[in-house]
Structure 1
Amino acid sequence: MKRDILSVLDLAGDLDEVLALAADLKRRTDGPQTLKGKSVAMIFEKSSTRTRVSFEVGIVQLGGHPVVLSQKDTQLGRGETIEDTARVLSRYVDCITYRAFSHVAVADLAKHATVPVINALDDLEHPCQITADLQTIKEWKGDLRGLKIAYIGDGNNVCNSLMLGAALTGMDFVAGCPAEHSPDKAIAKKAAAIAAEHKRASKVVTDPAQAAEGADVIYTDAWISMGQEGEAGSKVKTLRPYQINEALVKNADPDHLFMHCLPAHRGEEVTAEVMDGPNSVVFDQAENRLHAQKAILIKVLG
């Protein structure tokens, strides 16, 4: 039976194992050839640096063959249905990664594909990013359980997946977001329920200083996602009090980690002083996309 990874929740049963595998792959110089003789289609509706390069290099390192497709390279951009695309690609490749504008499209592709589908980002979740984030926190802090992670800014797809990942690994999570840009309510409710099972807390507040209080990890993301450029003016004005700067991070633990999934806009959601400061691990995060995604590919294809 094929295994799709559309949400962080799809990794719930073996997330610890995936993180351990990712760490092992990072240490090794001779990666397993799990994908030898296999091809992976990589569909990109949104442009990408980290997702494309990390997946493409990772597939090659595992012995596989990546097939990179933008909308202009496929008939999706000319009106072919998701269903037909899924059925056709399933006859050619062994797995599909999909970076899409819509979670509905990713779910639809997975429904009609007969090979595994991995969500490489959509408007609801970003499970591959969060797997790399958890790997990074574990590298720097050791055991994840009991740590407090504060996500501050726009309650977007990264925030949604991060609160699920924190809940699954026994971390306390606080999202500090303006009310009009809060994370998905259904996901927040689910994360709170999972956190409670681990005797931890997951909540959403509107005060960024409250969110940052005593945090072991401070996390933010760009305020304007691709496709939202039309609302940039009003959104930036609303989010300006949520900028990660030296004054705000003083509320966190002195040994906190600063994280950002990149690309960052210095002077907007984060100041250069924080981004380039001694607590920043953003480039470790970026590197770990390679190892975490290799671990995910091994899980779905190995």
Structure 2
Amino acid sequence: MTSLSINNKKPQHFITTADFTAEQLLDFVQVAIQHKVQAKYQYPTPLTDLPLTGKTLAVMFSKRSTRTRVATESAVAYLGGHAMFLGSQDIQLGVNESLLDTSRVVSSMVDGIMARVGGHHEIELLAKESTVPVINALSDKYHPTQILADLMTIHEYIHHRDNNTSSDQYSAHTQHPRETLPGLKVAWVGDANNIIQEILVAFLKLGISVSVAAPTGYVCDEDVIKIAQADAQKTGASLLFTTIPEEAVKDADFIITDTWVSMGQEDEKAKRLKEFEGYQVTMDLANRGGAKPNWRFLHCLPRKPEEVDDEVFYSDRSLVFPEAENRKWTILSVIDRLIVKGGFQ
């Protein structure tokens, strides 16, 4: 019997955007846009060439999800593959079997793993022991697929604004995001959580300035800040940390926030709501702080009224629903690049 060679090449994982160059991040966004155009505007029928036929993506979620789960399962189906959902009732990561064992066993049977975990060390261990690409669907430190969707949404808005076209005349695919993203300013008003940490390691690298307003005592991880500072030095983008929301939103093109009470922090709710008084995103806050006249709003959802009022959330300034849809296209892009094409060479 002829012996078969074993592929010992280490897979490329998607744990955080900090691991990728600016050009690679732009590639993810551009590929996502091309998939969106092809699937939604040019050829609204299933692909005839299905690159994931016969392949399985394990979707291991230890936390609940709406957008990430729907985006992942629909993206895999679009490419012809099977998304095997393994929730906390199906598989308890690190509970009745070690993370090491789980990663080795599951990765031996599937072609990729999408994992939504608690501690960031969990996704790092899964990736270390996996023989297939691991995609971080959320950890307590980073949320990379969300930030790709934010970048895509920002690009779409800037393209249509600058070219005076409406979103129902989609043309964002005709301009590369490297032409729309550098030079913008994003203001974050909220908790020092995984969303802003991912923004810090992605946006400044692309030449997008970031200002962060969080209450006293709410600070990002030191290593994340160091990465952001180094990227800001290279690109010339500005980086500001403040406890005053009005300072953060000054001259902002986009204002972004997220929940003040994440899953697992419910017992801190009363304390957090008190400490975040004055941080609700409102038209008045944007006016007082001096945001750009045509500023827009982003939120990764789900949203609670204390974080942003209805006037902003349901206004024409809000991009939250296109942003949510773009989770599908950017996750599809990551799957395409890492699992279908085998990563960046």
TM-score of the two chains, using structure 2 as the length reference: 0.85
Q: CA deviation at 1:179?
A: 2.4
Q: Does 1:288 align with 2:305?
A: no
- Determine if the alignment matches structure 1 residue 145 to structure 2 residue 145: no
- Which range moved further: 52-61 or 185-194? 185-194
Deviation, structure 1 residue 277: 1.0
Structure-1 separation of matches of 2:316 and 2:270: 31
- Measured after TM superposition, the shift of residue 75 of structure 1 is 5.2
SS of the equivalent of 2:114 reads strand
Inter-partner Cα distance in structure 2 for 1:36 and 1:300: 16
Residue 41 of structure 1: SS of its match in structure 2? strand
Residue 299 of structure 1 corresponds to which residue in structure 2? 337
Whole-angstrom distance in 2 between the partners of 1:182 and 1:76: 28
Q: Which of 219, 224, 231 pairs up with 2:256? A: 219
Give the superposition deviation at 1:202.
1.9
The 10-residue stretch of structure 1 (172-181 or 210-219) with the greater mean CA deviation from structure 2: 172-181
Aligned residues: 301
Structure 2 counterpart of 1:25:
35
Q: 1:112 & 1:183 partners in 2: Cα distance? A: 28
What TM-score do you get using the length of structure 1 for normalisation? 0.97
The equivalent position to 1:16 in structure 2, one of 26, 29, 54, is: 26
Greater Rg over alpha carbons, structure? 2
Aligned partners of 1:261 and 1:285 also within 8 Å: yes
Note if contact 2:62-2:93 (Cα within 8 Å) is conserved in structure 1. Answer: no
* Partner Cα distance (2:34, 2:24) in 1: 15
Q: 1:6 aligns with which of 4, 15, 18?
A: 15
Quote the Cα distance in structure 2 between the aligned partners of 1:182 and 1:208. Answer: 15
- Give the counterpart letter for 1:168 in structure 2: K
Partner of residue 105, structure 2 = 88
* SS across alignment from 2:284: helix
Contact 1:240/1:269 (8 A) holds in 2: no
Give, in whole Å, the separation in 1 of the partners of 2:284 and 2:107: 51
Rounded to whole Å, the distance in 2 between the matches of 1:191 and 1:34 is 36
Measured against aligned partners, the alpha-carbon deviations of 1:119-153 in whole angstroms (never above 9, x if no partner) come to 00010000000000000000111310000000111
Bigger mean CA deviation after superposition, 273-282 or 248-257: 248-257
State whether structure 2 residue 122 is matched by structure 1 residue 97. Answer: no
Write the distance in 2 (CA, Å) between the matches of 1:281 and 1:45: 28
- Structure 1 residue runs of 5 or longer lacking an equivalent are none
**Higher helix fraction (1 or 2):** 1
Gaps of 5+ in 2: 1-9, 160-179, 341-345
- What is the distance in 2 between the residues matched to 1:75 and 1:245? 40
Partner SS for 2:85 = strand
Post-superposition offset of 1:98: 0.6
Give the match for residue 153 of structure 2.
Answer: 136
What's 1:255 paired with? 294
The residue type paired with residue 178 of structure 1 is P
**1:282 & 1:74 partners in 2: Cα distance?**
32
1:114 to 128, 131, 136: 131
Partner of 2:265: 228
Please name the residue that 1:39 is paired with. Answer: 56
The share of aligned pairs that are identical, in percent, is 38
Letter paired with 1:87: R
Larger mean CA deviation between 274-283 and 70-79 belongs to: 70-79
- Tell me the SS of whatever aligns to 1:242: coil
Aligned CA RMSD, in angstroms, stands at: 1.2
Q: How far 1:77 sits from its partner (Å)?
A: 6.6
> Aligned partner of 1:197: which letter?
K
Q: Secondary structure at the match of 2:138?
A: coil
> Residues of 1 paired with 2:192 and 2:93: CA distance?
29
